[in-house]
Each structure stands twice: as C-alpha cells, then as structure tokens.
Amino acid sequence: MATLKFTSRPMPVLVDLRPMYKICQALLILDRTGYKGKCSLVKLHLMNWAIKEQRHVNTMILAAELGEITLPIWGFDPALSIALKLACGDQLIEPTKTGFILTDKGRELVKKIMSDGTVMTDEKAALIAIGRKITEDMVKTVSKEWD
C-alpha cells in the first residue's frame, strides 16, 4: 500500500480575513460614519460591504446625496462579527442596545490609524467620502424592506 507524505507550508491569510485588519476597519467605520462613534450592527455591516469595492462606495455616496438607500440587500461578513467580539474583548468598543460605540482606547487607535498615511488609505478615503450622511434612519428604513 502506498503512503502519502505531507510537508507543511506556510499559508498566507487574505488581508480581509485578518482579525486586526477587520478590527481597524470596524473602528474606522464607527469613527467616520457613526454619530459620536456609535453605529448599529446593520450599519456596520453596510459600511463594511461598501468599502470593499469602489462601485459600492459610489452607491453609498449617491444614497447620501439622495437621502435614501436604494439597495435591496447587501453582504453581511462573518469576519466582521468576529472582529467586533475581539474589539469588545480588547475594550476598543462597547456594545449598546442596537450596535457598538467607540471607547477612549478605540478612539486613540483610530487617531493613530488616521495619522499614518501609509495604512488603510483606500478605506479611509472611502469612509471620509461617505461621511456621516448615511443615517441610522436610512439604514433602518431599507432594512425593514427585508421582511
């Protein structure tokens, strides 16, 4: 009978699945699109979906200008949910009744990310372009259509 021999090799993890990257994305979303560093879970997932592709960012910018989100549905990322749990464990965010809010420790990390011109440049530009114009009411209105 033949035997197989396996050699273990290092395997890179996609950037989008790295916990620290996702935590930093979540913190940026809370800071740049949330009201006083606070967002609902649904809005966090919406903004996480939006910053993955420029056409999604453009859709959100248009929705902000129109005052209405016209998307039928968007992606929910399990990696974001895991990152949010880890961020809570590290006391970077705190859970609220409907979502999450930045802590002082989280705000300090956001300041470091924002001041470094070499990290997460696409994400920062996208979130700055969208800004706080996508409100929780807009997100709530479109998500009610899922029923």
Write out the DSSP string of 86-105: HHHHTTSEEE-SSEEEE-HH
What was the pLDDT predicted at 75? 83
67-77 pLDDT tens trace? 999 887 788 99
Q: Are 12 and 91 in contact (CB under 8 A)?
A: no
111-139 pLDDT tens trace? 999 999 899 999 999 999 999 999 999 99
Give the bridge partners for 35, in sequence order: 38
What was the pLDDT predicted at 16? 73
What was the pLDDT predicted at 74? 84
Residue spans of the chain under pLDDT 50: none
What was the pLDDT predicted at 73? 78
- The CA distances from residue 136 to 9, 45, 56, 96, 121, in Å, are 45, 12, 18, 14, 25
